[in-house]
């Protein structure tokens, strides 16, 4: 009895040491939970390609442990996954990050992905200029969304008043507009990549070829003098970033390597991207070769993000949650 009693403190100390060691070795989940790193990516060919390298990055895996991926199928899932703490890192439109942050959701911008663009496609014989749109009808998905607002703003900057010099027709979704462009039923349409390239390919196959007229990114740069139009971001839960500052640095480096890999070896990753997004492999290869995906930290891209949010807040405050977000939106640790 005496011997059993004497060993109790020793065993308790051993148990406490074991639990401490387990907690230290646990993944980066809140409260020491062994959740690893949970990443959600939208099924967009360029975004998927730019983040594809995270799936096999040895440095990231070594630091984070198990790295798991899921797909974000619609904007509602962004808020749901963030508020339920079921995701740590995700791709999302930068204005949605601003909107959710302004509404109290724990999300910050880790960095921005360059490469995804919105393309104005039009008739094969149209001039690649705003003047070719005078008297035309332009079809745009989602009335009041970012691309609708930016297109109207840029049209005015280039001497065209929507509703007077050109007609804008909004569609409630992307699939119906994609089908109409593919069938040659509309002349001008604003489409995101990879859907724009897919529509051009399909239109050519039915004998109604179209071409790229303008891109919003290029026109934004010309109008504002900004380096880029940062419409897509890599977001992170704020608490996660605060709890794991070293992992934030690893994420920045892994994302830089991943985007560079997509730009340097498009054919090598195209089959995987095609499988996850549904875009044809050859189209993905051509798209990545042309767009050259990049990754930049929020600290580097903040001036461009601020310029975008300022314009959106003036034109349609609801898009960014009512106001230009403050410094708290941005993760400043890392490069």
Mean pLDDT, rounded, of the chain: 89
Backbone phi, psi, residue 169, to 5°: -115, 120
Please tell me the predicted confidence (pLDDT) of residue 335: 63
* Residue 330 confidence (pLDDT) above 70: yes
Residue 219 class from Cβ within 10 Å (0-12 exposed, 13-18 middle, 19+ buried)?
Answer: buried
What is the pairing mode between strands 137-141 and 188-192?
parallel
23 vs 171 pLDDT, higher one: 171
Cα–Cα distance list, 143 to 54, 122, 146, 254 (Å): 34, 20, 9, 36
Averaged pLDDT, 185-192: 95
pLDDT over 50 at 219, yes or no: yes
Alpha carbon distance 51, 264 (integer Å): 14
Asked if residue 27 has pLDDT above 90, the reply is no
Across 132-144, average pLDDT: 96
3-state secondary structure of 52: helix
* Mean pLDDT within 149-169: 97
């Amino acid at each position: 009895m005496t011997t059993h009693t004497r060993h109790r403190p020793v065993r308790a100390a051993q148990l406490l040491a074991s639990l401490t060691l387990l907690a230290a070795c646990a993944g980066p989940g809140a409260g020491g939970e062994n959740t690893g790193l949970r990443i959600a990516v939208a099924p967009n060919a360029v975004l998927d390609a730019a983040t594809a390298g995270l799936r096999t990055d040895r440095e990231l895996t070594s630091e984070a442990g198990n790295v798991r991926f899921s797909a974000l199928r619609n904007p509602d899932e962004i808020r749901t996954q963030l508020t339920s703490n079921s995701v740590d890192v995700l791709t999302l439109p930068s204005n949605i990050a601003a909107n959710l942050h302004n509404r109290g959701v724990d999300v910050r911008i880790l960095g921005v992905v360059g490469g995804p663009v919105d393309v104005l496609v039009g008739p094969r014989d149209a001039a690649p200029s705003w003047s070719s749109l005078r008297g035309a009808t332009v079809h745009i998905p989602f009335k009041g969304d970012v691309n609708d607002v930016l297109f109207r703003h840029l049209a005015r900057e280039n001497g065209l008043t929507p509703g007077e010099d050109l007609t804008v027709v909004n569609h409630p979704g992307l699939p119906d507009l994609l089908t109409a462009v593919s069938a040659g039923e509309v002349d001008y349409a604003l489409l995101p990549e990879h859907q724009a390239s897919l529509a051009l390919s399909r239109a050519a196959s039915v004998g109604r070829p179209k071409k790229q007229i303008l891109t919003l990114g290029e026109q934004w740069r010309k109008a504002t003098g900004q380096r880029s139009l940062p419409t897509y971001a890599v977001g992170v839960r704020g608490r996660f970033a605060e709890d794991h500052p070293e992992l934030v640095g690893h994420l920045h480096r892994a994302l830089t390597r991943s985007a560079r890999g997509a730009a340097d070896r498009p054919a090598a990753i195209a089959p995987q991207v095609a499988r996850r997004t549904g875009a044809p492999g050859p189209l993905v290869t051509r798209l990545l070769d042309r767009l050259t995906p990049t990754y930049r930290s929020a600290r580097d891209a903040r001036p461009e993000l601020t310029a975008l949010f300022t314009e959106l807040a003036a034109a349609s405050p609801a898009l960014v949650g009512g106001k230009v977000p403050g410094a708290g939106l941005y993760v400043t640790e890392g490069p």
